[in-house]
Structure formats: C-alpha cells, structure tokens
Amino acid sequence: MMSSGRILLLLFAGFTLAFAQPKLIDAHLHYNGDSAFLKRLLVRLDEADGLAFLMTDPKDLDGVKDSVKQHANRLVGFGEIQLDAPDVLHQIDRFHTAGFRGLGEISSPRKNYDDPAYAPVYARAEKYGMIILFHTGIVNRTKPDVPEDVSVDRMRVTTLDNIARRFPKITVIGAHLGNPDYAWAAEIARWNPNIYFDLSGSTLIKKQEDYTFFKSIFWWSGITSPHSPKGGPSAFEKIVFGSDVFGGELEEFDRELERYHKMLDACGVSPEAQANIFSGTLWRILNR
C-alpha cells in the first residue's frame, strides 16, 4: 500500500527514464510509416547508442505506438499534427495517451505560428509537458505544379519567441536554425531558456567552407554583461542534434552527424559542450 505522501511524490515526480543516458539524441527524425525502415533505424540507433525523436503522422500512430513503447531506450514518440486540423486537440490527446512526449515537426500553418488562434494547441501541449519541434525558415516545394497555401513568412523563426514566452513550460526546438535567419534564431534562443535549435537541412552544406561563421552567431560564451542572461554555458549549447532523416533516407543520419562534428570542431566548441549538444541537454529535458 502507498502512503499519501508517496502518492504525492509520484504526482510531482515528472518523467524519469528507466535507462542510462544514450550517447546521442536525435531531435528530428521522420517516420515514413514503413516498418522495414523502423527496423533499419533501430539497428543504426543500437550501433550509435542513440535515441531518436520519431516524428509520426497521426495515420501511422496505431501502427507504431507499440514499437515506440517496446524500444523506449531508442525511440521517443512525437506527433506530427497539423495546427489547422479541425481535430488537432483530439490528435494531441491521442499522442499523449500513447505515451508520446512531443509534437512535430510542425510545418506549413495557415496563420503565423504565434497567431492567437493556435493558443489552445500550445496550452494542451504545455499541460502535457510536451516538447514541440517547429520547422523554421525556407521550406521545400516538392510538387511545383500543384497549388498549395504555404508561406515561409508564417514560419519565420521570430514567431517562436512569443510562443516560448507565453508557454514557459513548453520546450521549443526550432528546426534548421531559421534558415537563413540565423542571427535572429540565436538571439531569441539567448534570452529564452526554453528555446533550442537544430542545424539540420541545407545550412551546414551551404556554410561548409565557412564553419567559423557560427562563432559570430553564437557569440556570447563567457560574456558578463547586464544585457545577457547570467551564468550561461557555451552559447553553442543552444544547439541540439537533429538529422532530419525523412522519406526513409537513413544515410542522412551519418552525413548530418559528420557535418555537426566538423562545424563544432572548427568553432573550437569544448568536448563538454559537445556532449550536451549531442545528448546531455535533451536528456535532462526528457527527465524533467
């Protein structure tokens, strides 16, 4: 039998994962609905001692939720909801009930991300203590002949600032560092303790001849000033690892890992900070 004190403790304990910290956490990996891909992914994650946030379409939830549960040391479920779907709150409830810890990748909204119309979505995510991965910046156009109501302007990285401030218990991850609004992305991350970014997509390819460029974006390491938050670690620790594997192309996982390592080494980021970028930061957030 449990004492009421013990029950209270459990109620307020939050999440604690029952396995050791993995070497790598990938904050951005898309499930394509193919169980053969899932098998290959699990093999690769075992080799890398990795844990991946698996972006899952609502139609694939029932097919994959048992695998996510079964491989809790390798997969963390994320619900790839549409902000404008009429049943979006119900979808969030479904993902939460299945033990999914986050939402995303959120993309292609009809309104700006920070439009008040989406407040109920963010309130529901906050209630569940979810992490939200937002696409930011330039987005692909895969079917140029088909009209689509998509606008990069609604996914500007600066729209995340207001969401993070209004919903302080949500952890926001911006995908792609706002490409090409890198400076804005870093500045809003500097002041919002609940905003992080991944560097997946074309940015680390575009900048491959100029990786030290990122020192001018993540500039505030060790700075003491009334105009900067106190006691911050390396500014680069606002970055987390994300591969943006999609469409089953698992090879991108290794290519992206290599680009991250090259850039961070070129910028002289310490091994301690790199350990947080590749795993520690998200591990602490998952165990909150």
Using CB under 5 A as the criterion, which residues of the chain lie in contact with Zn ion when the complex forms? 135, 175
Task: Provide, for the chain, the percentages of residues in helix, strand and coil under a 3-state DSSP scheme, each rounded to the nearest 5.
Answer: 45, 15, 40
Q: Compare residues 139 and 275 and give the one whose CB is closer to Zn ion.
A: 139
Q: Compare residues 171 and 203 and give the one whose CB is closer to Zn ion.
A: 203
The Cα 128–Cα 50 span in angstroms is: 24
Single-letter amino acid code for the residue at 207:
K
CB of 153 to Zn ion, least distance (A): 15
CB of 82 to Zn ion, least distance (A): 14
Pairing mode, if any, of strands 50-56 and 75-79? parallel
The Cα 218–Cα 214 span in angstroms is: 6
CB of 131 to Zn ion, least distance (A): 15
Minimal CB distance to Zn ion: which residue? 135
The Cα 229–Cα 225 span in angstroms is: 8
Q: Compare residues 71 and 135 and give the one whose CB is closer to Zn ion.
A: 135
The backbone torsions φ and ψ at residue 28, rounded to the nearest 5 degrees and listed phi first, read -155, 85
Q: List CB contacts of 215: < 8 A, sequence separation 6 or more.
A: 267
Q: Compare residues 173 and 188 and give the one whose CB is closer to Zn ion.
A: 173
Place of tokens 């119900």: 90
CB of 70 to Zn ion, least distance (A): 28
Q: Compare residues 237 and 244 and give the one whose CB is closer to Zn ion.
A: 244
Q: Which residues pair with 135 in a beta bridge?
A: 175
CB of 225 to Zn ion, least distance (A): 33
